[in-house]
Amino acid sequence: MGQAVLKHEAAKRGIDIEVDSAGTAAYHVGEDPDNRTVSTCKKHKIPIKHSARQVKEADFSTFQYILAADESNLRSLVEKQPKGAATVRLWGSYLDDKPIGDPYYGGIDGFERCFEQCTKLSNAFLDEVVGQD
């Protein structure tokens, strides 16, 4: 969801950026997004098409920024980060230092809250990195 929302918020500002999503573990590699994620994005008219993949070393040179959803993923990314590579930060550090809530084990309301959080974090990230519109 975060990938789709960030790409959408950037496009609304006329910014064309490359955004990708990857996990620090291989739990869902090759799988499509959760149906509740797709439903939430569709409700907000945000296209989402993605197959899960795991972070790879090349990501640290391909991307300028790698955003972690929570502290556990941040630690894992920092451990893998080569020197002089992409900036790795908690996504929430651009706004309120809060991790993104994982809606997976709850109902659709959790996905809506996650969507709202991703929207706020996307705009905070874009404000800091690209500048306010």
Q: Which residues does the annotation mark as catalytic?
A: 102
Cβ(32)–Cβ(3) below 8 Å: no
Alpha-carbon distance 82 to 32, whole Å? 29
87: how many CB neighbours lie within 10 A of its CB? 12
CB-count burial class (<10 Å; 0-12, 13-18, 19+) for 28: middle
